Structure 1
Amino acid sequence: MKLSARTRYATRLLLDLALHDDNTPRRASMLSQSTGVTVQFIEQILKPLKKEGLVTSVRGAAGGHLLAADPQELTLGHIVRVMEGGIHMTECSRDETACERAHQCRTRQVWIRISRAMEQELEAITLSDLMQDASIIASSPADRRG
């Protein structure tokens, strides 16, 4: 599975909002400057994040965007599901009707297993973890649990 730029940038935007959580809305231009994502792309990325309730927007001269989710509860898995529609290595691991061979395929269960492992890893990392130390990614969930 290759994450789309939308998903990678959504994570970057959410992390920026979390790091600047002083109840002051961040304008798209500010987000663009700190994340390197164009303002136009930011506006596209924010739509599903707002719809999911992860971001809220404030209108007006002092308006902008705020993180609406708790960084300790918001996992990378949640972000990927919002932006990608799920965490699946293959279409058949998401939907068995996607392939006429799904019931006799010898590899489908492997893709499902890998998808579940990937989801477990993504669920083990929160936005709060990334705020503390991005090197958290270097260890597995089992290592972090002790």
Structure 2
Amino acid sequence: MMEQKTKKPISKSLIKRLHIIYSAQGIDDEQKRAILLDLTDGRTNTTKELTYSEAMYLCGYLNGTKKENRDLTITEREIRRRRSAVLKRVQRIGIDTTDWGAVNAFCLDTRIAGKKFRELDGEELLLLIPKLESILKKKEDGGY
């Protein structure tokens, strides 16, 4: 989860700014929700519930204003966070995450990812999070 140095609420103008960036970057609602879930480690999937520091980080990240030499570090960290976020949800679904065979069998299902866990790239991991959240919600509601 991204460190929250300040819990200052997000302003309406900053919400608008982020929505303009989403539109300019061609980010659809599903991708936006996945990005927000990843950024907040599953706390929220809506822009208006971001903290000020999360929103400012997201603006810089989406606009590509991070220094190029830090991009590799950020990317590596992002992939680790996404893997961790996916594994947490897979475990909550009931898959033994200490058994890579079980994790891979789950991920290989075409309805899930169609690939082994280690073969999933950052974008695929990001898109998998809302899918797993949906499965968890159905499981909680007794429909899975």
Q: Same fold (TM over 0.5)?
A: no
TM-score by length of 1: 0.29
TM-score, with structure 2 as normaliser: 0.29
Greater Rg by CA: 1
